[in-house]
Structure 1
């Protein structure tokens, strides 16, 4: 029996500074975690109670073994997590400057997860899933982009929902115009778009969130969920509304979007109405920013529900 939801894209090792408000050159120690947008999202979904699987690659090295072990410990299906024979596991070092964004240094040129291939995907298992989530960094080079587009096409053909976390990171691309070509292809196969402010501007081709979302909806997307930091979350679809930010003490902004994506996708799996799943996702993201890591910061369903209840009390 396969997963009900698969997350496709990056899985890497995160090395997060223990010295807060300290530049990387002066950091003396780091904590090691499973990281990468798709890996974090898969863990987040599993912790919420979903039958989640990951589609990715790790290196034939100790870090790759660490990631595979952690995924299994979190009850994530690893049948489509392959070991790359040539490329190492990607790394990300982060210096934390709460409440501002963290400073991240990636070591991923080249790395294993960028080389997901068509051969890695069990299309029969994917056909049985209800949802495919994609972290769009995987579109930045071959063969990952071809595998991703094929997975989106196959999932749509079998009646599954496609959720795109735009995960726009310009440093992984040759330029914006090249990136837009592949993003547009993927977006036309998406049912749901999850985007922070820079991602919405990039993909929606407008600084105005209403106009940017309208552009994405015109490409056939059913829902656009715009994460706007302290300004809350905007939802665009059959209705439009805003969900306010959940007040928490910020420690690490990294991973908040992945926690949000996992929780929003979980709401889709449960068949919840748009407002309920958006509020649930906003609360999950709030919990993640209050903790040191990304994957290990992912909350359980009861933790999210308790936070929502406390806000209403």
Structure 2
């Protein structure tokens, strides 16, 4: 496939989403199977938008691992750094959907393959030729994934690449906040761009005030902080000032994956060299498209789909 211009690093799992809406998991009778996991979704999202995207992760030596590898290749994602773990199975996530509220997710990942991505899995020559590394920070929650991630961030920065962190803060994957904060801080000191929802930004910046949390993160060397606030739109703090972009109005089916769609689209905008406001508007529209669909990865829009909605919004205004 050749070298990717952007690599996504972190979780890739199988999502099993309930076909029955507004039904607790204990009562669900059937599920739809998709490629999932924040890093996997982001890689697919980038590829659908037209970027040359690769994934750095692991899958299990099982049928679900084969499914994920085949699906990634179908989507045009470079799988040169997606290794098969000899010991641990592919992670799973079962989700009950309760639109428009958040979904109820049950993870099966103790242990699982993607958490065991290691230094040996990384092709540092290929990474050095890419332009952007985007990391879903759940991969920092245990060894050897955390060491591999910090090494990748350091190598990418040394070769002149841009580091994008999706904070992906999920307390259930960690033994405690203090441990998490140590590894998040180490990663944040090598980050250029931080993408976060409200709880994630409050955790990382240790303040309920987005502007204060953004100030804390920027004091660590982060260039820009993009705060995803759902129905309240998006806040941007960075070298191009501070501004808010309003939400895109859609009928919500599944909130899962919206942040990954947003992150993929924002990163795509960075690759295109777009100004910050255009990046945020494009990303907000992509995220809105994802929440209107059942899946995560298969809900990821193409560039033309995003631009069609953006054009329609501009005409209505």
1:12 match: 13
For 1:64 and 1:187, the matched residues in 2 are separated by: 30
Structure 1: tracts of 5 or more residues without a match:
none
TM-score computed with the length of structure 2 as normaliser: 0.99
1:312 Cα deviation (Å)? Answer: 1.3
For 2:127 and 2:224, the matched residues in 1 are separated by: 22
1:66 Cα deviation (Å)? Answer: 0.1
1:161 Cα deviation (Å)? Answer: 0.1
Say which SS state the counterpart of residue 163 (structure 1) adopts.
Answer: strand
2:156 match: 155
1:55 Cα deviation (Å)? Answer: 0.2
1:128 match: 129
1:173-219 deviation digits (Å, cap 9, x = unpaired): 00001000000000000000000000000001000001010000000
1:310 Cα deviation (Å)? Answer: 1.0
TM-score computed with the length of structure 1 as normaliser: 1.00
- Indicate yes or no: 2:32 matched with 1:39: no
**Quick one: which of 232, 242, 248 aligns to 1:246?**
248
1:29-61 deviation digits (Å, cap 9, x = unpaired): 000000000000000000000000000000000
Matches within 5 A, 1:1-313: 1-238=2-239, 239-313=241-315
For 2:297 and 2:57, the matched residues in 1 are separated by: 16
1:244 Cα deviation (Å)? Answer: 0.4
1:89-123 deviation digits (Å, cap 9, x = unpaired): 00000000000000000000000000000000000
Q: Where in structure 1 do 4 or more consecutive aligned residues deviate above 2 Å? A: none
Structure 2: tracts of 5 or more residues without a match:
none
Say which SS state the counterpart of residue 41 (structure 2) adopts.
Answer: helix
1:311 Cα deviation (Å)? Answer: 1.0
Report the count of equivalent residues. 313
> CA-atom RMSD, angstroms?
0.3
For 2:205 and 2:246, the matched residues in 1 are separated by: 22
